[in-house]
Chain A
């Protein structure tokens, strides 16, 4: 095994561990955090860092074969669409009337939204 192959193998294992670590953190936050918005913030990390890390690890492991190219396609798609979906569902939750947790300090979007509605009326 040449030096480059060993380096790629080590990098692949490192990215796999990073992805698994972020999946673990996301699940921990999904159980433990008190609020819809806090949980949303922590589960988006699975879509971006976790999935992209594991898919990049697969690409580094197999090179530009069909499996590797499709893996990096899935990773880039998740990296693009997970923040969009998170933004839409959080805005819908706020307009639907889901409140913040009791420890929250500030809610700027609520003030902006009520002011907009008064101007419309």
Chain B
């Protein structure tokens, strides 16, 4: 009997494939940024589920740090596209 959280991990691994397709094919730069952001969110959720599956707290720290880095990176690229400078 396969558990619910194993099913969740399988679905999220499959959900990375459309993101990579959009990163490679996407016509403009915001397309690629959006796909990277979505892929990072999926990886964060996958790390959370994996942390419960292994019974270890440390993967949840990795998920928190990865979500913060993804937010800062998206805001930085948005500012760079908008104004031409980062800071």
Residue ranges of A at the interface with B (Cβ–Cβ < 8 Å): 13, 16, 19-20, 23-24, 26-28, 30-31, 36, 39-40, 43, 46-47, 50-51, 54-55, 58, 61-62, 66-67, 70-71, 73-74, 77-78, 81-82, 84-85, 88-93, 95-96, 98
CA distance A77 to B60 in the complex (A): 13
Residue ranges of B at the interface with A (Cβ–Cβ < 8 Å): 4-5, 7-8, 11-12, 15, 18-19, 21-22, 28-31, 33-35, 37-38, 41-42, 44-45, 48-49, 51-52, 55, 57, 60-61, 63-64, 67-68, 71, 74-75, 77-79, 81-82
Secondary structure dominating the interface of A: helix
Residues of B within 8 A of A46 (CB): 38, 41-42
Structural contact, B74 and A88, CB atoms closer than 8 A: yes
